[in-house]
A and B are shown apart, each in its own frame.
Chain A
């Protein structure tokens, strides 16, 4: 059961129960909808971007503990960051959950987000952890919608625009 406790760590359970930055963002100038059609998870990410920097970010929607906690911790991680910094985080997070980045050895910017490394032992759940990040990415790039249909541990497609 060690893998299971890796997946459902206290921090993740806490963010699931009390998601941070949850709800609609008034005054958002970017947003995107992310869905996981296989399981019906649905997230909406709102951004207030100013001078290339994310001044504020919020999300709403329904999903499992992994997707909700991931979205919650993502909002904390990206608030105040520049677009370029967020791109680096997106790339590192994505590679980490796919098992392509060894966060224990290679330098990275992920900080507390490494708590999601355990998800790579659960291939069916990788999409849950990455949905929020793909939705954020779509919002930043002005793509209104994203679906995880073609995203997964065995497929490395970066983006499916809806």
Chain B
């Protein structure tokens, strides 16, 4: 069976032509502004994507008409808020194709999701001498929690290496798996290089040895169709703000059997069944992992963002993004003095590059003067920078509302950088 992502790629070529980018751009009010006297070109989507009007309006309507605390009141507003909040969870379930809504834990984002698994699963099941396997491409959010766990437990962190294109070496990965491995934690799509990792294959190989797998989906969910049952992963994390929802929204998907066995993460209200000073019993899923009042408006906004994505032709959106990325790669690579960092065969969203003898921050500042927003730095992935022997990169990252004209402006601005520094 071919993977979901691959299916999208092959359908792509014809679908891209069907994409009406001008119409989609009108859905995002933030895009219609000038920066430093020039129309904004927003190419920092991997850091945070923009929010469409329907999502803004849904959050505002909640605050205007429905705001109340959830899961508590017998009164009208609390019931409406609860219905909207749990309605968002059901939308998330369908978006990820989870079996049950209770497998979708609302979090503030991927960082919280990974930390939840580290505390709830890692601290309960990992012991001295055990091993956690991550990859050389990981974001700090999928490195640091595991280092903290390893330090606490006397466990060991193992790292899947990458080739010079930025692709994981699967044979080396397989060799790292052993009876000591307690968890594999890898990203779906690299935020620094754009590599799409073969997570279905990674999961299959880990499961052969009975090892659960966490997939950091922060950059996967905005670009790929996600089917957690098809991927077979045990955990999948999502950051709402990277997929057109407000900050403070996010999801940790976990298989119910594994979530049931885990310890709670934070203690507090909403996550208990009964509390006495002698003993507390915990609530069932998902409440066990949702202590305290959550970001209700943001999570309802995430539900609205999913509705918005479902209203689009996602296959056409994917195909269009792929075409845009290929165009940007080709044009930038043709500029003398520019080198693309990360040349994996399968990529999504991000295009990292360096300009010869110019630091990425200087690139970023000059582009900003041209109204172009990119990210310059280590992208919270310092080990990736070390692996590719660069202190930092400039990164343009795309969404389905970006255009070829914007890519042309990016290229012209990079040429200007080279001129300033020549």
Contact = CB atoms under 8 A, between A and B. Distances in A.
A124 B365 contact: yes
A90 B365 CA distance: 25
Nearest to A65: B362
Interface string A87-108: 0000000000000000000000
Contacts of A155: none
A38 B377 contact: yes
Interface string A1-36: 101100110000100110000000000000000000
A131 B391 CA distance: 16
A155 to B, nearest CB: 20
B365 A39 contact: no
Contact of A3 (B369, B382, B391): B369
B377 A64 contact: no
A126 to B, nearest CB: 12
A83 interface: no
Contacts of A128: 361
Given A40-B377, A40-B378, A64 B359 contact: yes
Contacts of A16: 421
Contacts of B376: 39
B358 interface: yes
Interface in A33-57: 38-42
B385 interface: yes
A13 B362 CA distance: 11
Contacts of A7: 365
Contact-residue bracket for chain B: 10 to 19
Nearest to A38: B377
Contact-residue bracket for chain A: 20 to 34
Nearest to A128: B361
A40 B385 contact: yes
B419 to A, nearest CB: 11
A6 to B, nearest CB: 11
B366 interface: yes
Contacts of A66: 361-362
Contacts of B377: 38-40
Nearest to B361: A64
Interface string B364-389: 01100100000011100010010000
Nearest to B379: A40
B275 interface: no
Nearest to B422: A13
B305 interface: no
B359 A8 contact: no
A157 to B, nearest CB: 22
B392 interface: yes
A63 B361 CA distance: 9
A40 B391 contact: yes
A40 B420 CA distance: 23
A125 B361 CA distance: 8
A13 B421 contact: yes
Nearest to B417: A8
Nearest to A119: B365
A3 B36 CA distance: 11
Contacts of A62: 359, 391
Nearest to B357: A17
B420 A8 contact: yes
A8 B362 contact: yes
A64 B378 contact: no
Interface string B151-195: 000000000000000000000000000000000000000000000
Contacts of A122: 365
Contacts of A39: 361, 376-378, 392
Given A8-B420, A39-B378, A65-B359, A125 B391 contact: no
A63 to B, nearest CB: 7
Nearest to A68: B359
A137 B357 CA distance: 28
Contacts of A68: 359
A143 B378 CA distance: 26
Interface in B278-322: none
Interface string A124-154: 1100100000000000000000000000000
A40 B359 contact: no
Interface in B333-380: 357-362, 365-366, 369, 376-378
Contacts of A13: 420-421
Nearest to B376: A39
A1 B369 contact: yes
A41 B366 CA distance: 18
B385 to A, nearest CB: 7
A63 B365 contact: no
Given A3-B369, A39-B378, A64-B362, 15 more contacts: A4-B369, A13-B420, A16-B421, A39-B361, A39-B376, A40-B382, A62-B391, A63-B359, A63-B391, A64-B360, A65-B421, A68-B359, A122-B365, A125-B361, A128-B361
22 contacts: A1-B369, A4-B365, A4-B366, A4-B420, A7-B365, A13-B421, A17-B357, A38-B377, A39-B361, A39-B378, A40-B382, A40-B385, A40-B391, A62-B391, A63-B359, A63-B391, A65-B359, A65-B362, A66-B362, A68-B359, A122-B365, A128-B361
Top 5 closest pairs, chain A to chain B, by CB: A64-B359, A64-B361, A62-B391, A40-B378, A39-B377
